[in-house]
Amino acid sequence: MGLSAELKTPVTGTYTQPTGLFINNEWVEGVDKKTFEVVNPSTEEVIVSVSEATEKDVDIAVAAARKAFNGVWRQTTPGQRSIYLLKLAELVEKNLDLLAAVESLDNGKSITMAKGDVGAVVGCIRYYGGWADKIEGKTIDVAPDMFHYTRQEPIGVCGQIIPWNFPILMLAWKIAPALATGNTVVMKTAEQTPLSALVFANLVKEAGFPAGVFNLINGFGKVAGAAISSHMDIDKVAFTGSTLVGRQIMKAAAASNLKKVTLELGGKSPNIVFNDADIEQAISWVNFGIYYNHGQCCCAGTRIYVQEGIYDKFLEAFKKRAQENKVGDPFHDETFQGPQVSQLQFDRIMEYIKIGKEEGATVETGGERHGDKGYFIQPTIFSNVKADMKIMQEEIFGPVCAIAKFKDEDEVIALGNDSTYGLAAAVHTTDLNTAIRVSNQLKAGTVWVNCYNMLHHQVPFGGFKESGIGRELGEAALSNYTQNKSVAIRLGVGQGTERRLRFSTFAIADMSSYHQRSASQIGGPDKTYFEQQREVLIGEIAMSFEHVLANINKLNRSLEAVTAVGNEFSSVEALWSQFENVMAKEPADDNGSKSGSKPANESPSRRDDQRNDEDEQ
């Protein structure tokens, strides 16, 4: 097969669509020359066929990424990485209309939302382009003769698996921090939506990134995704998708080389509306929170809790608003909700609607297919729901929500936290105290107040509980792609000085030990005075030696330190003389001899000989 095709969109006209695997900055076929079809969810027609990667292709891509990581990319400065990323952001911005059109064609999202996604891609890449030369370690003061510091080093080859609901946006969320911190990437697109990422790959090459730094493959999770998760030469895997698949990736990562894992998984987010909320504003945000991106959003506000004082009024107004959402052709500017991404997802959502009806919930609006062509579903609202119903507990990932009433703050906090997920939540109220109290109690990685789905590349995003591990976006995402190294350096000193310091330190320790033994023999009122004097002098001597070491460490930087070292040694000698004077005045013991006298069986000459030996050492 060829490695590109001429396609057409209502926005851009004809364009060239890459269809191969992007490995080592080249378009290649898969080793087994397999392909699969990509379907337009609006028309159910085949758009094009693309190459399908197998385990062999993953091996080739990983080898290219490893070679780049160990070679050219490791030698690339942080400043140059920044230049590459900023250039890439510029190219994406220039091609915004094309990328958005391909996203709408492939995914089915409205062209307005697709343009918003691509705009967010530009911002995300620019943001991390700014971070590339600001990855810093620390110096840690431990001791005068030691230099400790930390480095934030890239992890290595990163496998990244992106979902079908935000294809190009999730691509940017993952590659931008990975490349900024000096890693190389092997990315697998979702089999439903590979096209925009393939167009993006050409821009990576145009931006000047070296071969092997970014590699992109198309394929299925059970083959290519599994190969990435279990590959022995991939150092880290990042995945966005379902909790079920996230568990499988963790198992594969642990069973292989215990690669590091970042997971952004499912959600069943509560959207809470209090009696004092601005109802019109709350309805707008609740509507946006569930039906944005056709409900195919991991943080969608699918569980809506409204305080009983405004419940009836809110429900009627919300039904009306949902019915006004324009569902249809994603290339019409007025379209709010496009089709679901695939036949499989369409069937899954319709099955949940059926289950909700069977469980006894009331369909307030929607609940049926929209039109007779394409994977369109009417915006659907369930009421009269119970907390243990499947539609209240399981992620549907479509334009379906359930609404329930609550009495007070304590009850709604318990209801909001009654989920295995913890990705996001929202609180609508005009009382700041209520907003803060409830936000603090909700077990969710993100809590919005009087808004919904307000994501920014500067702000970390990720889940509690079964909604994931790690954080995307913001400075926090950098830690997903770096590892901390501690370096400890013992600073060298001159040989002569080092010998003298070794002897002097030994001498102080020896004298201290000697006089501790002798002090136990001292009696009378002079004992306390002697001990105090001895401890003060030993402390001053030790402090003086610390100053000596500190100044020796500065010798290479300051000639003035030489004089300081000499002064400190003079200070040591003066203190030593005081020490000897104190020792000469020690009180006599009961036998009339000095408490500090040498043992009878040890002659002065023997101890002097030992001192001389130690000095030579």
The residues assigned a catalytic role are 264
Distance CA 582, CA 2 (A): 96
Residue type at 503?
F
Task: Give the pair of three-digit tokens for residue 488.
Answer: 């400890």
Residue type at 46?
V
Q: Which residues contact 467 (CB under 8 A, 6 or more apart)?
A: 243, 264, 265, 266, 267, 298, 421, 422, 423, 445
Burial of 561 (0-12, 13-18, 19+ CB in 10 A): middle
Distance CA 159, CA 188 (A): 8
* Intra-chain end-to-end CA distance of the chain, in Å: 79
Is residue 277 within 8 A of residue 427, CB to CB? The reply is no
Handedness of CA 85, 86, 91, 96 (dihedral sign): positive
Query: Closest Cα to residue 351, out of 271, 359, 11?
Result: 359
When computed from its CA atoms, the radius of gyration of the chain, rounded to whole angstroms, is 35
Longest Cα separation, the chain: 116
User: What count of other Cβ atoms lies within 10 Å of the Cβ of residue 153?
Assistant: 15
Query: Closest Cα to residue 195, out of 59, 36, 89?
Result: 36
